[in-house]
Amino acid sequence: GDEPLDAGTLEAFGGSLGSAGVIVLSEADRPPEVARAAMRFFRNESCGQCTPCREGTVHAVSLMSAPSWDIAKLEELSACMADASICGLGQAAPASLRSVLRFWPELVR
């Protein structure tokens, strides 16, 4: 739609403005690969202070590297990371993963 890109407007659509970073994909991109690359980025950038982020990103990358994703485990792990991480990095880490699970689940089965 033509929704404004303002703080507070995207939540109703399952999105978030976050730090205002936007990832634009072409039809040539594979969303699961993009989500895996994003999770590797968060794994590498984690300060290691809290377990949900430190261990969650490592475990998520491992699960996302399988030929077929364990969707139930990834959904549970994503919720834990988003809810229990101390800072915004750990809370945001599962965003791309959650988008793939929501919009392209057929690509990871």
| pTM for the whole structure | 0.83
Token code pair at residue 97 = 């993963």
The pLDDT of residue 19:
60
Mean pLDDT of the chain: 90
Closest CA to 9 of 21, 1, 20, 17: 17
Q: Is the pLDDT of residue 3 over 90?
A: no
> For residue 11, how far is the Cα from the chain centroid?
15
Instruction: List Cα–Cα distances, 31 to 3, 28, 65, 108, in angstroms.
Output: 23, 10, 13, 10
Give the pLDDT mean for 37-41: 96
Q: Is the pLDDT of residue 21 over 80?
A: no
Q: Is the pLDDT of residue 37 over 80?
A: yes
